[in-house]
Amino acid sequence: MMSDDSEKPVADPKPDTKSSPPPKPDTKSSPPPKPDTKSSPPPKPASKKPEEKPIELPAFEKGISDKLVEKFGDKVEVGFVKKDRVRINISKENIHKVAEFVRDALNYDHVESVTGVDFPTDKEIEVVYHVGSYTDSSLARQILVLATRAPREENPIPGQDSTRLPSIRDVFYSAEFGEREVFEMLGVYFEGHPDNRRLLLPEDWADLPPLRKDFAIKGR
Amino acid sequence: MLKDLITPENANVFVGKLGDILEKAIDKPLGYAINWGRIWSLWPVHIETACCSVEFGAASSPRYDVERFGIIEAFGSLRQCDLIVVQGTITRKMAPRLRLVYDQMPEPKYVIAMGACAITGGLYFDSYNVLPGIDGVIPVDVYVPGCPPRPETLIQGCMLLQEKIKRMKARKIV
Amino acid sequence: MTAELPPGLALQKADERIMTLNVGPQHPGSGHMRIVVQIDGDYIVACDPDPGYVHRGEEKMAEYRNYITNIPHLERPVIHDSCNILYPYVLGAEEILGIEVPERAKYVRVIASELNRCIYTMYWLAIYGIFLGHSTMFMWPAGDRELLIDLMEKMTGARVTHAHFVPGGVRNDLPPNFEDTCLRQVNYFERRIKEYAAVFYDNPVLISRTRGTGVLSRQDAIRLGTTGSVLRASGIDYDLRVKEPYDVYDELDVHTNVMKEGDSYARSRVPWLDMMESCNIIRQALQKIPKSGSVRTKLKPNPKTKGPATVYKRVESGRGSLGCYIVSDGKPEPYRVKMSVGSFRNLIALPYLLKGEKLGNMPSVYWSLNYWPVEADR
Ligand code: SF4
């Protein structure tokens, strides 16, 4: 099913939304996880130093991020553009649409890993998808990093509180086990995921989700 | 003379004494024979619990070949086994299953704790999902330290177990 | 749970016809995991893998140790492939700590990682023999594997848990005369594994048990995001050593082995072909390695990071692409370490492959996924 889409050419400009032609300034060395200085959902680096002579961004990777910015305007924010790695920060309402666009127009076809990172100071949990491509040989060494954030609650009841994200399992099937793992390890419920069950932890686990920062391992 | 000593009242006492003497006389050689049979055919259960199973596999490979010491390669059903080699970490999810396996094995049964993880938790002493040693779950006969133990160490552990079985009581005297 | 899964993949309510079986965790055909299968007669109708019996919380522990002390426990998920599983972590830590690696160390790493790939694959092949009830297939690889383990022991000092890769290079230089010994043993090893074709891969028993079972089509392999030999056995030419060369792989000539069939037979044959390719790579690396030079940039005991950063590094391990995502917040300990491991990614294919198979084919399909449960659970 996926590869039917991927037979399309790589460049699919989709000139429907010409809202924001100028691409956002891609700060090359923007460090996304900086859990102490941020409060807004997309991790914008607080120290926004105006780099007068921009460091040369890799052209191909810049093209990918430009396409996304062109399509979605300011709904997406470019985290960094490095060699072979592009990071896009997306709010949780748009993650599904962006994932669909990434699959259909940009030819990415599988999720390599789904990672949850807890940021207690921001009261948010970040979920990061690393998306790659097998079918398009020009993308073989590229990893597109889609990052989104869910609100975090102090006393989590996994599955019932507001820590929710839309699942992209119906876009990228390969995210299925990864999302299940994030659900049990961080308590992020994925709406639309048909199988939000426990995967790795014991059946009788009743503690906090273990990868949250306030879950301390013994003796530390 | 004997006739005077044995009366119908105390006959069963004498028979009991005689039985004791007989048992003492027979038990040692018989027990020795039973134990001798046991030590050369230890059947380990096929239960892998963590990465130490790599070295357990290597121990039955042609170079180390534990089979020549009477430890048979792990195949078959646990109902015919009498040895558990706990090959490494026991997590909280695995612990009830390990106990279940132990309970289903027929007596007599022996346990070798292989690897630092099975002894104390090892490298994972502070992990949230790992038991600090398996002694809380099942009784252990021999500890084989190492992370992972080399196959030679495992073989030595098995030989220690055989030594131990040799000295054990073969049968329970009531 | 049942409604939106593709029909037939979710477990159904057991009735008189459909029986639910628990395979594992104490079972010769499951390893350290449980597979819940539902069978109708002899045919599997649904399957639900239940991993997590070796989940040891590596990722949580990594947050409490610094970049150097993380090394020993992060290699434990695959102790017989310990160089490869450390590789992405070490590459990422180097980027975060800002260290350069000497040229000779890069070659030593390539040699060690290829030797380890062979050691892993031989063990996997040996266990595949047990799963198929083929004793020779256990004994031969398990015995020949010791040759390479000897080499690694000479090189690193330990049989399986080497902890040889550190940020900044490798721990020790090659021992004297290692090159000659290595070349001799690798040549012998290659001659030896070529003989396996006659005993295993042309063996009618193996063929009848693996050909045509568990066929993973090209589309599905992409859609499920499988990796490594599973992917290459389904006809997709993707190997990170070629596609995204790390360290010195771009200077070496690496050939990717691809098979079209996508069945268990192809999946069992691709790793064997990869081993011969590894022998080739080792020979090339032994030729090109700089004859002298340092192998390690020394680090302070508690090294400073350059500041907040995220890295995602990938390498090709014995089980496919192995990624490590490190989030650093500038402290000496990583803020988050995530291992994206090949076994975990291949596990998702198991319900697809087993549906409609005979129960007797379960072990051969399961183990052909190049799966190592300890790694998948982390
Ligand atoms: S003792 Fe070491 S090798 Fe054995 S299970 Fe524990 S960590 Fe793994």
Cα separation of B52 and B85, whole Å? 10
- pLDDT by residue for chain C (378 residues), tens only, comes to 334 455 556 666 666 777 888 887 777 777 778 888 888 888 888 888 888 888 888 888 888 888 888 888 888 888 888 888 888 888 888 888 888 888 888 888 888 888 888 888 888 888 888 888 788 888 888 888 888 888 888 888 888 888 888 888 888 888 888 888 888 888 898 888 888 888 888 888 888 888 888 888 888 888 888 888 888 888 888 888 888 888 888 888 888 888 888 888 888 888 888 888 888 888 888 888 888 877 887 777 777 777 788 888 888 888 888 888 888 887 788 888 888 888 888 888 888 888 888 888 888 888 888 888 888 888
- The finding on whether B117 has its CB within 6 A of some atom of ligand 1 is yes
Q: Hey, is A89 helix, strand or coil? A: strand
Cβ of B148 less than 6 Å from ligand 1: yes
Residue A20 has pLDDT above 70, yes or no: no
From the CA of C122, how many Å to the nearest CA of chain B? 11
Of B89, B131, B150, the residue with max ligand 1 atoms within 8 A of its CB, to mutate for a pocket test, comes to: B89
Is B32 a member of any domain? Answer: no
Whether A44 maps to a domain, the answer reads no
Q: Which residues contact B14 (CB under 8 A, 6 or more apart)?
A: B5, B6
Q: Which of residues 32-71 of C touch A (CB under 8 A)?
A: 51-52, 55, 57, 59-61, 64
**B49, B55, B61, best to mutate vs chain C, most C CBs in 10 Å:** B61
User: Ligand 1 centroid to A58 CA: how many Å?
Assistant: 44
Q: How many CB pairs under 8 A join B and C?
A: 99
B122 lines ligand 1 (CB under 6 A): yes
In sequence order, the 6+-apart residues with CB closer than 8 A to the CB of C177 are none
Tokens, residue B112:
């070798």
Counting the structural domains of chain C, the total is 1
Tally the C-alpha atoms within 13 A of residue B45's C-alpha that lie toward its C-beta.
29
pLDDT at A35 over 70: no
> How far apart, in whole angstroms, are the C-alpha atoms of residue B101 and residue C26?
8
Pairing of strands A85-90, A143-151: parallel
The CATH number of residue C274's host domain is: 1.10.645.10
* Helix, coil or strand: residue B110: strand
CATH number at residue B98: 3.40.50.12280
**C196 lies in some domain:** yes
What is the number of structural domains in chain A? 1
In a domain, B161, yes or no: yes
Nearest CA-CA partner of B118 in B157, B93, B85:
B85
Q: Which domain holds residue B119?
A: 53-167
Q: Which residues of B fall within a CB distance of 8 Å from A210? A: 128-129
Distance between CA atoms of residues C136 and B2, nearest Å: 69
- Distance, in Å, from the CA atom of C185 to the CA atom of C194, rounded to the nearest integer, reads 14
Which of A185, A198, A201 is the best mutation test for B, with the most CBs of B within 10 A? A201
- Residues B45 and B84: their CA atoms lie apart, in Å, by 5
Contact of C62 with C70, CB cutoff 8 Å: yes
Neighbour count for residue C223 (Cβ, 10 Å)? 21
Residue at C47 is within a domain? no
B110 vs B141: CA distance, rounded Å = 6
Residue range of the domain that includes A67 = 59-191
pLDDT, tens digit, for every residue of B144-172?
888 888 888 888 888 888 888 887 776 65
- Residue C271 CA to residue C229 CA, distance in Å, equals 6
Number of domains in chain B: 1
Predicted pLDDT of residue C3: 40
Nearest Cα of chain A lies from the Cα of C72 at a distance, in angstroms, of: 18
Rounded to whole angstroms, the Cα distance separating C15 from C26 reads 25
Q: Which residues contact C202 (CB under 8 A, 6 or more apart)?
A: none
Ligand 1 neighbour C79 (Cβ under 6 A): yes
Residue A185: CATH number of its domain: 3.30.460.80
pTM of the model as a whole:
0.82
pLDDT higher than threshold 60 for residue A48: no
Peptide bond into B148 cis (omega under 30): yes
Domain assignment of residue C315, given as a range: 58-377
pLDDT of residue C290: 83
Of the residues C55, C76, C377, which should be mutated to test ligand 1's pocket, given the most ligand atoms within 8 Å of the CB? C76
The alpha carbon of residue B33 is apart from the nearest alpha carbon of chain C, in Å, by 32
What is the bridge-based pairing of β-strands A164-166 and A143-151?
A: unpaired
ipTM over 0.90? The verdict is no
Interatomic CA distance for residues B120 and B89, integer angstroms: 9
Residue C4 lies in a domain: no
Cβ contact (<8 Å) for A33 and C340?
no
Name the more confident of A72 and A49: A72
**HSE-CB for B121 with a 13 A CA cutoff:** 14
Residue C34 lies in a domain: no
**Using CA atoms, how far apart are residues A38 and A122, in angstroms rounded to an integer?**
7
Place of tokens 């690798």: C186
Calpha distance B124→B28 (Å, rounded): 45
The residues, any chain, with a CB within 8 Å of residue B165's CB and separated by 6 or more, are B35, B38, B39, B110
Res. B173 pLDDT band, cuts 50 70 90: very low
User: Can you say how many angstroms the Cα of residue C349 is from the centroid of all Cα atoms in its chain?
Assistant: 16
- Residues in chain C with CB shorter than 8 Å from the CB of B94 are 25, 32, 53-54
Residue A154 included in any domain: yes
